[in-house]
């Protein structure tokens, strides 16, 4: 039986990945942060087959020891601080969890491979934020790595280490993920903040969504599609870097418009959006759009859900949650 080890299994992508791998018949092990009983409980209910190990990503010995003990065939390193905004508040923790921990995973995987004499396939969840203020759009695998946030810098280190260990003979794919969303996105992200507020405004007929820069453009995809790309990258004959993106951009204003129209507000959607300059980021990356031609060509990957449908599914989910009431 093929064994997979997933860090960040309680996160948005980790949950979809665990479901996918269990459906395929793999034995799935995941790292769960100590003290996060709520997320672990939710995950156990959704994917009872997953074997959960409690520990902190910052605990180097524990993380390396788990990989040595589980002896996985596939490792997906998804854990870490995943919010640019939060990384400005916790830059050192971000470096440890989104940067150094990746090196710990890679070193442990390499040692395991040396010990067992069979390939250990790894995927590093890289980010478009490694490109910072890219001079050209769309960004591809050759775009210079020049991060402009603590999150981007930590991810850039992990990304470079993936390349270092690839050179050492480890099968490490680095998937450079552009923004991807789903109803499982935490409420702290602007997309989910918009969809949950829109659902409430739709039901109550009043209220506003308070946002920062409405003109920021992002390339937003559907999370399960991005998980699919990571699995394809893990299993591909050659380990490499892959941009995972839709190639289409939309502004935060468009996101809000689609969400508010979905709840029936029509052209009145504008009356329900207000701008708060306090919500502007210290350094905002203006346009991020990825060219995923290589993933399409070499992995046979395609995004399957488009922008308006992603927003619609998120709003519908949030509306259902509100209608169900407190659980
Ligand atoms: P997410 O929902 O924020 O999940 C992050 C995971 O890391 C959670 O399971 C979290 O556990 C875990 N984690 C955080 N600190 C930990 C610690 N100290 N010890 C153990 N586990 C810890 O992120 P995601 O959206 O699924 O993204 C998956 C990966 O892709 C991340 O590495 C992210 O940086 C990268 N990425 C995501 C996007 C995107 O748009 N989603 C774009 C580019 C790259 P808790 O739930 O307990 O906090």
Number of H helices, E strands in the chain: 12, 13
- Measured in Å, residue 65 CA sits from the centre of ligand 1 at 21
pLDDT value, residue 39: 81
Q: Could you give the C-alpha distances from 2 to 75, 226, 237, 281, in angstroms and in order?
A: 11, 21, 17, 43
Indicate which residue's Cα is closest to atom 42 of ligand 1: 179
pLDDT value, residue 278: 84
pLDDT value, residue 43: 86
Q: What are phi and psi of 175, to 5 degrees?
A: -95, 115
**Residues in the chain, total:** 327
Q: Dump pLDDT digits (tens) for 251-283.
A: 999 999 999 999 999 999 999 999 998 887 666
Q: Could you give the C-alpha distances from 147 to 65, 87, 128, in angstroms and in order?
A: 31, 13, 9
Average pLDDT over residues 224-238: 98
Q: Dump pLDDT digits (tens) for 145-173.
A: 999 999 999 999 999 999 999 999 999 99
Q: What are phi and psi of 124, to 5 degrees?
A: -100, 125
| DSSP 8-state assignment for residue 188 | T
Could you tell me which residues come within 8 angstroms of residue 66 by beta carbon, excluding any fewer than 6 positions away?
Answer: 5, 29, 31, 53, 55
- Distance (Å, whole) CA 131 – CA 143: 7
What the block records as the tokens of 197 is 């507020």
Ligand 1 atom nearest 179 alpha carbon: 40
Q: pLDDT confidence of 35, banded at 50, 70, 90?
A: confident
Q: Dump pLDDT digits (tens) for 91-117.
A: 999 999 999 999 999 999 999 999 999
pLDDT at 236 exceeding the cut of 70: yes
Q: pLDDT confidence of 285, banded at 50, 70, 90?
A: low
Ligand 1: lining residues by beta carbon, under 6 Å: 8, 10-14, 31, 33, 36, 39, 56-58, 78-80, 82, 97, 125, 127, 177, 179-180
Q: pLDDT confidence of 190, banded at 50, 70, 90?
A: very high
Nearest to 74 by CA among 241, 231, 306: 231
Q: pLDDT confidence of 41, banded at 50, 70, 90?
A: confident
| DSSP 8-state assignment for residue 55 | -
Indicate which residue's Cα is closest to atom 27 of ligand 1: 13
pLDDT at 63 exceeding the cut of 80: yes
- Measured in Å, residue 306 CA sits from the centre of ligand 1 at 23
Ligand 1 atom nearest 9 alpha carbon: 9
pLDDT value, residue 73: 98
Q: pLDDT confidence of 286, banded at 50, 70, 90?
A: low
All structural domains of the chain: 3-181+221-244 (3.40.50.720), 190-218+249-288+305-324 (3.90.25.10)
Better pLDDT: 38 or 214: 214
CB burial readout 310-325, b (16+ within 10 A) else e: bbbbbbebbbeeeeee
pLDDT at 327 exceeding the cut of 70: no
Catalytic residues: 127, 129, 151
pLDDT value, residue 280: 79
The best mutation among 5, 7, 13, 18 to test binding of ligand 1, ranked by most ligand atoms within 8 Å of the C-beta, falls on 13
């Amino acid at each position: 039986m093929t064994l997979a080890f997933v860090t960040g299994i309680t996160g948005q992508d980790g949950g979809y990945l665990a479901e996918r791998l269990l459906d395929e018949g793999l034995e799935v092990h995941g790292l769960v942060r100590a003290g996060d009983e709520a997320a672990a409980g939710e995950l156990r209910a959704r994917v009872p087959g997953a074997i959960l190990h409690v520990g902190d990503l910052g605990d180097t010995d524990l993380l390396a020891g788990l990989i040595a003990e589980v002896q996985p065939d596939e490792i997906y390193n998804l854990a870490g601080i995943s919010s640019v905004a939060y990384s400005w508040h916790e830059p050192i923790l971000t470096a440890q969890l989104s940067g150094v921990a990746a090196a710990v995973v890679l070193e442990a995987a390499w040692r395991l491979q040396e010990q067992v004499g069979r390939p250990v396939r790894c995927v590093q969840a890289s980010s478009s934020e490694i490109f910072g203020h890219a001079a050209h759009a769309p960004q591809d695998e050759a775009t210079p790595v020049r991060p402009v946030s603590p999150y981007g810098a930590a991810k850039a280190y992990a990304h470079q280490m993936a390349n270092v260990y690839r050179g050492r003979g480890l099968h490490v794919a680095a998937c450079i993920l552009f923004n991807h969303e789903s109803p499982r996105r935490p409420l702290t992200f602007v997309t989910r903040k918009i969809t949950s507020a829109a659902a409430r405004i739709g039901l109550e007929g009043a209220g506003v969504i308070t946002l920062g820069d409405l003109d920021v453009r992002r390339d937003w995809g559907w999370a399960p599609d991005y998980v699919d790309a990571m699995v394809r990258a893990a299993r591909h004959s050659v380990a490499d870097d892959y941009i995972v993106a839709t190639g289409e951009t939309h502004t935060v204003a468009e996101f809000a418009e689609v969400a508010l129209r979905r709840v029936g507000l029509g052209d009145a959607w504008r009356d329900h959006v207000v701008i708060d300059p306090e919500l502007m980021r210290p350094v905002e990356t203006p346009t991020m759009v990825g060219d995923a031609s290589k993933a399409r060509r070499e992995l046979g990957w395609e995004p399957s859900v488009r922008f308006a449908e992603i927003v619609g599914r998120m709003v519908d989910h949030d509306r259902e949650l509100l209608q169900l009431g407190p659980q």
